[in-house]
Amino acid sequence: MEFTVEKREAMKMIGFERVVSYGDSYQEIPKFWQEFCRQYCGEGTAPEKDKEIRQTIAECMVGEYGVCVEDGQEKDQFRYYIAGAYQGGNVPEGMTVFQIPASQWVKFRCVGPMPEALQTVNTRIFKEWLPGNQEYEIAFHMNIEWYSQGDTQSENYESGIWLPVKRL
């Protein structure tokens, strides 16, 4: 599996949150993205109440990241955010600001149409790479999905999965 390791400073993020069950995540997260895109990604006139949200989405590039937070608040579930880097200012109703701690991150490259390419790499990380890795362990229960711009259905579309790690 293709990966790099990189140290990153803490990041403040803003986005939309949904609680997702582990068993249904491969179906529910793509549905969440479809809802987000249907409501906020299209051209055209936004309802007045959505203008502030659309402005924040554009300024903070909400949709560049998907963030999974497993903090034990929900049994058999985790919080998933469609997110971007928070730039400060007002937080529109329905959006949440949260912190990603500074850490060393292992970054896996994904190439291919979404969501299959990312889900395939994600499964391999947790079934193959983590159990067989003797150099790193998970530092805390969070992972980041990174999404490039472009055609998400292209065979050449690039995305990534980042996991916070520490040396064994």
Question: HEC states along 59-114?
Answer: HHCCCCEEEEECCCCCCCEEEEEEEEECCCCCCCCCCEEEEECCEEEEEEEEECCC
- 48-60 and 25-40 helices, crossing angle to 10°: 110
| Spatial separation of the C-alpha atoms in residues 59 and 99, rounded to whole Å | 18
Helix (H, G, I), strand (E, B) or coil at 52: helix
Average pLDDT in the chain: 93
CATH no. for residue 32?
3.20.80.10
pTM assigned to the model? 0.92
> What totals of helices (H) and strands (E) does the chain contain, helices first?
4, 9
- What would the pLDDT profile of 33-58 be if each residue is shown by its tens digit? 999 998 888 765 566 668 899 999 99
Stronger pLDDT, 2 or 3, i.e. the higher one: 3
**Which of 1-5, 25-29, 31-35 shows the lowest per-residue confidence on average (mean pLDDT)?**
1-5
Q: Which two tokens stand for residue 45?
A: 């006139």
Domain span holding position 62 = 3-167
Residue 5, classed as helix, strand or coil, is: strand
User: Running DSSP on this structure, what letter comes out for residue 20?
Assistant: E
Per the CB < 8 A criterion, the answer to whether 82 and 35 are in contact is: no
Q: Could you give the number of structural domains in the chain?
A: 1
Backbone phi and psi for residue 52, each to the nearest 5 degrees, phi listed first: -65, -40
Tokens, residue 17: 């949150």
CA nearest neighbour of 68 among 108, 104, 25 = 25
Residue with tokens 């701690």: 101
